[in-house]
A = this chain, B = another copy of it.
Amino acid sequence: MPNIENTIDRIQELIESNAEQQLCDELNSYHSADLADIFQQLKPEERLKCITKVDEEKAADVIEYLPPQLQVEILGDIDEGLASRLISKLPHDEAADVLGDMEEDESQIYLDKLPQKFSSEIRELLTYNEDTAGGIMTPLVLTVFDNMSVKDALDTIRIKAEKENMELYYVYVVDKHNHLVGVVSLRNLLTTPVHLNISDIMSKDLVKIHVDDYQGHIADIFMKYQFNALPVVDLYDHLKGIVTWDDVQDIVEEETTDEIFTSSGIVTDLGDDDDDILTGSLAHSIKARIPWLFITLIGEFIAVTITNKYDKTFTALPVIAAFMPLLAGLGGNIGTQSITLMVRGMSTGQITLNEGWHQIMRETITGLSIGAIFGILVTLVTWGWQHNLELGVIVGIAMSLNMTIATVIGTCTPLVLKKLKIDPAVASGPVIATTIDVVGLALYLTLVTWYLIKL
């Protein structure tokens, strides 16, 4: 892989000095994935100049590697003829994605310009919801009939694979009505005597997905069975396409992003449109962030109300108020650690509900140990700072209890949510942080007030 910063400098120089032939040679010497990286760093007008200098096959490949917004931007900027040639060179599922991301009238122009067969296949793909198997799959599948011999099948594959740019993962077997009846690996085909029948060597034990299956479900199946590709069927078991692992790669990344955002109190399924939180409209991004902040507001007002009951304590010994951020901060942090460990552990399957008790015990001991260490630290520092050992001990004890309770709340809540079949990522972060604030501060203020009265 080239050093991307040097490369970009060199390419920008070539563009400025109008060294057309050199620019052309330089660009065509890179792998398409590298070119896509380079394009993302260039200015729009530089990108435009470069894309026309790359061989069309390679340019289509580059488009495939680019993020959706940039795909639409570049295709919209270049000559319409070139754009439709590039689109026609994309795999079916990519072409459908690109056209789906464009404005309706714009995509219509390209659909009319594309070769008849390709265009009608893309139109069919565009009818599926883009988050389902139908919206993800490619309809080009290598199939053979169940009544063929191995020799016929191999001949068919030679012809089909050459004519259409098909991936050779598995060879699917259909009957004459295009019902999916089996699968053969290429390895099997190549190593079986050629006179045998496909129906004798195919595996009928098929894992398949339905055109309407949602992407999260598809990703789960891929992660579980670890296939390279899975066939997609409709309600009547007609073979409609295949989903391949590289499509799933993108889904897994998306699902992980959703999990991370949800844990931080960002709503990922507003359902209004498909605006991206990072790049979409500002209004969308504000709407995604307000709901959990609002719930936090209510929770923290409860904390404010409780805290306000101790106004006499603050008047008597104002340093008590000064310690509140310390308690809330450390309780929040250790609680967040526990939530994160639990939510991620359940999402990767490392923690199951059965082991819940074990994990609660484990975290409680962890919370107690860390709480004890920090309690002692806080006692010593407070003693040294305020020259008041008793205050130090009370704050230290409050700190220990607070951290232990925060750990237990952070561990139990995701487990309870999971038990109630609610996604543990939802509500975890902000709500638990607020709960820990309320419980921790109430505990601390009760302790210090009791200590003040005792004095």
Nearest CB in chain B: distance from A290 CB, A = 6
* A-B CB contact pairs (8 Å), 22 listed: A37-B224, A65-B226, A161-B190, A168-B187, A186-B186, A249-B252, A265-B336, A278-B345, A282-B369, A285-B362, A285-B366, A296-B333, A297-B374, A299-B329, A301-B381, A307-B322, A307-B325, A308-B322, A314-B314, A321-B321, A325-B437, A328-B329
Q: Is the interface of A mostly helix, strand, loop or mixed?
A: helix
Central interface residue in A223, A299, A318, by most chain B CB within 10 Å: A318
Can you name the residue of chain B whose Cβ is closest to the Cβ of A365?
Answer: B282
Given contacts A286-B369, A292-B333, A303-B329, 8 further A-B contacts (CB under 8 A): A161-B190, A260-B344, A265-B333, A278-B359, A297-B326, A300-B325, A308-B318, A315-B315
Does residue A166 face the partner (Cβ distance < 8 Å to B)?
Answer: yes
Q: Which residues of A are in contact with B by a Cβ distance under 8 Å?
A: 31, 33, 37, 40-41, 65, 67, 154, 157-158, 161-162, 166-168, 185-187, 190-191, 205, 207, 223-226, 228, 245-246, 249, 252-253, 256-257, 260-261, 263-266, 276-279, 282, 285-286, 289-290, 292-293, 296-297, 299-301, 303-305, 307-308, 310-312, 314-315, 318-319, 321-326, 328-330, 332-334, 336-337, 339-341, 344-345, 348-352, 354, 359, 362, 365-366, 369-370, 373-374, 377-378, 381, 429-430, 433-434, 437, 441
Check if B31 sits within 8 Å of A205, measured CB to CB. yes
Q: Which residues of B contact A319 (CB under 8 A)?
A: 308, 311
A313 to B386, CA, bound (A): 19
Q: Which residues of B contact A190 (CB under 8 A)?
A: 154, 157-158, 161, 168
Nearest CB in chain B: distance from A434 CB, A = 6
**Per a CB cutoff under 8 Å, which of B296, B340, B378, B437 touches A260?**
B340
Q: Which residues of B contact A301 (CB under 8 A)?
A: 326, 381
Identify the 9 closest CB pairs spanning chains A and B, nearest first: A311-B318, A321-B321, A308-B322, A264-B340, A314-B318, A307-B322, A162-B191, A300-B326, A300-B329
A349 to B228, CA, bound (A): 25
Nearest CB in chain B: distance from A332 CB, A = 7
Given contact pairs A285-B366, A290-B370, A332 touches B332 in the complex (Cβ within 8 A): yes
A329 to B322, CA, bound (A): 15
Q: Which residues of B contact A279 (CB under 8 A)?
A: 350
Can you name the residue of chain B whose Cβ is closest to the Cβ of A185?
Answer: B168
Can you name the residue of chain B whose Cβ is closest to the Cβ of A222?
Answer: B249
Q: Which residues of B contact A437 (CB under 8 A)?
A: 325, 329
Check if B351 sits within 8 Å of A278, measured CB to CB. yes
Nearest CB in chain B: distance from A27 CB, A = 15
Central interface residue in A166, A328, A329, by most chain B CB within 10 Å: A329
Copies per complex of this chain: 2
Nearest CB in chain B: distance from A306 CB, A = 8
A223 to B250, CA, bound (A): 9
Nearest CB in chain B: distance from A154 CB, A = 7
Nearest CB in chain B: distance from A344 CB, A = 5
**Per a CB cutoff under 8 Å, which of B228, B253, B324, B366 touches A321?**
B324
A154 to B359, CA, bound (A): 54
Q: Which residues of B contact A378 (CB under 8 A)?
A: 297
Can you name the residue of chain B whose Cβ is closest to the Cβ of A403?
Answer: B293
Q: Which residues of B contact A351 (CB under 8 A)?
A: 278
Check if A264 sits within 8 Å of B336, measured CB to CB. yes
Nearest CB in chain B: distance from A361 CB, A = 10
Can you name the residue of chain B whose Cβ is closest to the Cβ of A306?
Answer: B322
Q: Which residues of B contact A429 (CB under 8 A)?
A: 333, 336
**Per a CB cutoff under 8 Å, which of B166, B185, B321 touches A314?**
B321
Q: Which residues of B contact A373 (CB under 8 A)?
A: 290
Q: Which residues of B contact A278 (CB under 8 A)?
A: 341, 345, 350-351, 359
Check if B330 sits within 8 Å of A265, measured CB to CB. no
Nearest CB in chain B: distance from A7 CB, A = 15
Can you name the residue of chain B whose Cβ is closest to the Cβ of A142?
Answer: B187
**Per a CB cutoff under 8 Å, which of B161, B187, B326, B337 touches A289?**
B337
Check if A223 sits within 8 Å of B245, measured CB to CB. no
A257 to B157, CA, bound (A): 42
